[in-house]
Amino acid sequence: MGIGWVVKEKDEVDRKISFSSSLENWPSSTRAELGAIWSALLTAPCKTETHIFTDSKAAIEALERDNTNNKTRSWFKMKNRSIINQIKSCCKAKDLNLVLHKVKGHSENKWND
């Protein structure tokens, strides 16, 4: 499964930063989307508001899900808990304000297709 992302800054249209990689033993498309989000956050500067656009509603819902129920059993039943924990830990450590945006998949958007 492959993951990737691009950075496009409004002020500098010609400046493009991108990343792509392949993932092994991660058969879930949601997990691949979460992996792409995590890798993007690892490169984000500390103390910034980071906007991520994804076509994965499942990834957005997994990250926005409120984990007020801290029972061990519910934690172990949660799908993709390890990568979600890594994303949340990264945001906390780097003091990032993560803003997720849902975009329509396969809509001829060159940044999403």
Residue 107's pLDDT is: 64
Q: What is the pLDDT of residues 41-68, one digit of tens each?
A: 999 999 999 999 898 999 999 898 855 5
Beta carbons of 94 and 47 less than 8 angstroms apart: yes
- Which of 7-11, 42-46, 88-92 comes out lowest in average pLDDT? 7-11
Long-range contacts of 24-33 (CB under 8 A, 24+ apart): 26/1, 27/1, 28/79, 28/80, 29/1, 29/56, 30/56, 30/58, 30/59, 30/62, 30/79, 30/80, 31/80, 31/83, 32/1, 32/2, 32/3, 33/3, 33/58, 33/59
Q: Does 112 reside within a domain?
A: no
Q: What is the pLDDT of residues 73-88, one digit of tens each?
A: 777 777 888 899 999 9
Cα separation, 34 vs 62, whole angstroms: 9
pLDDT above 60 (res 13): no
| Number of domains present in the structure of the chain | 1
38: domain CATH number is 3.30.420.10
pTM (predicted TM-score):
0.78
Residue 28's pLDDT is: 81
Which residue range is the domain that position 48 belongs to? 2-102
Q: Does 23 reside within a domain?
A: yes
